[in-house]
Structure 1
Amino acid sequence: MASGGARLNSGPAPDPSSYSSLKKDWDTLPASGFAGDIPSWPLPDQSGRESELWDIYWRKPQAIIWDRNNQQLEVALHVRRISEVELPDSPTALGTLVRQQMDALLLTIPAMNAAHILISSSAPSTPTPTKGARKTKTDNWLSAVSVEGA
């Protein structure tokens, strides 16, 4: 097990509607998904279920990024593992691998948040700034505290 460092689910998730997120670029993908041509299957011997899943996955919004990054092989390997994990008595480790692949392909909410990816059918709303920390009249919070016997 790895130790130290940032992990996908460590700490609070980024909030695209927060004021501080205005400083960061969020990539907004259309909810309608990828409209380009579905690439050809890059692995040998595609099964019927793999063909179904391939078409489904390449219409997802994340496919816009996969196409941009030429990730056809990664998606095909994930589709193959998905079709295997659907079978009865598939090993638990295969399920773990599928979840890790889903994170790598930005198919989970935590992975999308970490990569600053949004899926939206409309323009993102503009966040409104929140009030800063409350200050005392003297801007020194310790002087505003009364201590008995001091």
Structure 2
Amino acid sequence: MIETASLIVVNLVIAAFIGGIIGYLLGKSSGSTYRPSNNKNVKDDVVNIKSKSSVNPIFRKNSSVDNKPLILSSPRPSGKDKLIKIKGIDSKVEENLNKLGIFHFNQIAAWSNKNCDWIEEFLSLPNCAKKNQWVEQAKILEAGKQTVYSQKIENGEVDAN
């Protein structure tokens, strides 16, 4: 029994050695080696790489993900709601909410106070959601009713841009 175990161990060592040699030879023959840039402006290269890659906005801030509201990957087939009908949401804020995955009134209507805090911190809009009562307005709009502000938006009396 000990003889069989020792033979297995010897075979494993030989297999690892042969695998290491084959890996080394394959890596060397592929020709891909790391060559540091001779360019003095390495910072420019890093900036170009960062600007080309798109980073999920959720990871840009240090907010606690525990309080993040429910998000969707895309709007429903019926289309996204006009979030600008909510007082305090202009076209830029609506665009940022859409980037986060918030497209519909019912998503905002379901927010808790902690969700509002998270959105306000993440979008750098201190006390905007609570002060303008986004959740309450979203509940009204979700029910198919209008608020005074949403009627003004519909009539073109207020420019939300």
Q: TM-score, normalised by structure 1?
A: 0.24
| Higher share in strand | 1
Greater radius of gyration (CA): 2
